[in-house]
């Protein structure tokens, strides 16, 4: 009887261990194949009026390339480029915008700059959401790294409330492959970092209120490249530093003025000739 109970207990333990092993295999398979995609929000982009390019792209400027392609295809009407300050009077937004305008014949009135000192995505949301709401945007595309797209959409949606609706997409950069993230060093780093950031974002958003159009604490203006060019026109230092060109009196006088001077000189010469003739006649008579 005792041996039978021992055998039953062993079978029970073996069954539990087998179930746990199967569960671990399923969990491992799901983690390896699905968890990489759970970080990515890959929406189909047909047409949006506004896009927000978040800071943090690599030296490849992969977000610029993605946004420029969409704008060239007519899928984006206007874009707001965000960038942290990296020098005393220069920010990443300046460098991003300069490169962006080289990628196509884009209207400078449709490209906006938001220079900031925000250290995180949630801080960028506080910067740009009031401005977006003042412009009454219905749908906004968030352009960020693929593994950060789900988190970015969650943050902006939670802080914005019902409107606008936020979309995002996989920009397919080589530093993150959702299908094979475990076999690439940079992808593994991004996977681990973004899962930790996503979990932490729940804590960040705990108890936060919806941001409205009048809640902006952002001190600087978000302006288009065209407005900045009109307010601060380009000054060519080469022209200013060039030596002055010497001009002759004839060149500086207008055409009609030159003609008047010539006529006056001619009349004066004729009057002088007449005077000499009359003087000569008078002296002949006296003799």
CATH number of the domain residue 206 falls in: 3.40.50.620
More confident residue, 246 or 159: 159
Report H helices in the chain: 2-33, 35-38, 62-72, 92-102, 121-134, 149-160, 185-204, 225-231, 237-241, 249-252, 255-286
Does one domain contain both 204 and 69? yes
In 3D, which of 150, 147, 152 has the Cα closest to residue 193? 147
Per-residue pLDDT at 241:
63
Per-residue pLDDT at 287:
47
Per the document, the length of the chain is 287
For residue 127, being part of any structural domain is answered with yes
The mean pLDDT value of the chain amounts to: 84
Mention every residue, 6+ apart, whose C-beta is less than 8 A from residue 53: 63, 64, 67, 79, 80, 81, 82, 96, 143
For residue 237, being part of any structural domain is answered with no
Does one domain contain both 225 and 90? yes
Does one domain contain both 127 and 93? yes
Does one domain contain both 129 and 258? no
For residue 76, being part of any structural domain is answered with yes
- The count of structural domains within the chain is 3
pLDDT in tens, 13-39: 777 877 888 888 777 777 777 899 999
More confident residue, 260 or 102: 102
**Quick check: 210 and 159 in contact, CB under 8 A?**
yes
Side-by-side strand order, sheet with 48-53: 165-168, 139-143, 48-53, 76-84, 111-116, 223-224
Using alpha carbons, list the distances in angstroms from residue 138 to 128, 161, 164, 169, 222: 15, 12, 5, 17, 19
Does one domain contain both 77 and 190? yes
Per-residue pLDDT at 260:
58
Does one domain contain both 216 and 277? no
Would the pLDDT of 253 be above 90?
A: no
For residue 201, being part of any structural domain is answered with yes
Does one domain contain both 254 and 227? no
Does one domain contain both 11 and 101? no
For residue 244, being part of any structural domain is answered with no
For residue 245, being part of any structural domain is answered with no
Would the pLDDT of 248 be above 70?
A: no
In this predicted structure, which of 134-138, 194-198, 204-208, 266-270 has the lowest mean pLDDT?
266-270
Sign of the CA dihedral with 69 first, then 55, 41, and 153 last: negative
Name the percent of the chain lying above pLDDT 70.
77
pLDDT in tens, 130-148: 999 999 999 999 999 999 9
Per-residue pLDDT at 133:
93
Per-residue pLDDT at 286:
47
More confident residue, 90 or 30: 90
More confident residue, 233 or 199: 199
Does one domain contain both 27 and 120? no
Q: For residue 27, what are the domain limits?
A: 2-33
Does one domain contain both 94 and 135? yes
Per-residue pLDDT at 227:
93
For residue 238, being part of any structural domain is answered with no
Does one domain contain both 214 and 268? no
Does one domain contain both 261 and 226? no
For residue 40, being part of any structural domain is answered with no
Per-residue pLDDT at 214:
85
Per-residue pLDDT at 165:
96
Question: Between vectors from CA 29 to CA 26 and to CA 35, what angle results, nearest 5°?
Answer: 115
Would the pLDDT of 269 be above 70?
A: no
């Amino acid at each position: 009887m005792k041996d039978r109970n021992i055998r039953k207990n062993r079978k029970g333990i073996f069954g539990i261990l087998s179930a746990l092993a199967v569960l671990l295999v399923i969990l491992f398979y799901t983690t390896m194949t699905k968890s990489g995609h759970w970080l990515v929000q890959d929406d189909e982009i047909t047409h949006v009026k506004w896009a927000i390019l978040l800071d943090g792209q690599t030296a490849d400027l992969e977000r610029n390339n993605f946004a420029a392609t969409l704008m060239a295809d007519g899928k984006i009407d206007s874009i707001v480029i965000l960038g942290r300050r990296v020098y005393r009077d220069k920010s990443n937004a300046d460098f991003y915008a300069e490169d962006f305008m080289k990628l196509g014949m884009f209207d400078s009135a449709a490209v906006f700059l938001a220079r900031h000192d925000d250290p995180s995505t949630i801080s960028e949301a506080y910067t740009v959401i009031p401005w977006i709401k003042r412009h009454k945007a219905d749908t906004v595309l968030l352009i960020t790294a693929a593994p950060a797209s789900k988190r970015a959409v969650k943050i902006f949606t939670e802080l914005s409330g019902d409107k606008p609706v936020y979309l995002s997409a996989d920009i397919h950069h080589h530093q993150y492959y959702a299908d094979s993230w475990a076999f690439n060093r940079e992808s593994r780093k991004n996977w681990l970092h973004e899962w930790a950031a996503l979990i932490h974002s729940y804590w960040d958003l705990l108890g936060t209120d919806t941001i409205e159009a009048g809640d902006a604490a952002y001190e600087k203006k978000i302006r288009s490249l065209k407005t900045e060019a009109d307010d601060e026109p380009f000054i060519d230092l080469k022209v200013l530093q060039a030596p002055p060109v010497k001009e002759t009196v004839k060149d500086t006088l207008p055409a009609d003025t030159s003609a008047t001077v010539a006529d006056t000189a001619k009349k004066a010469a004729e009057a002088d000739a007449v005077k000499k003739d009359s003087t000569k006649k008078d002296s002949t008579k006296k003799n």
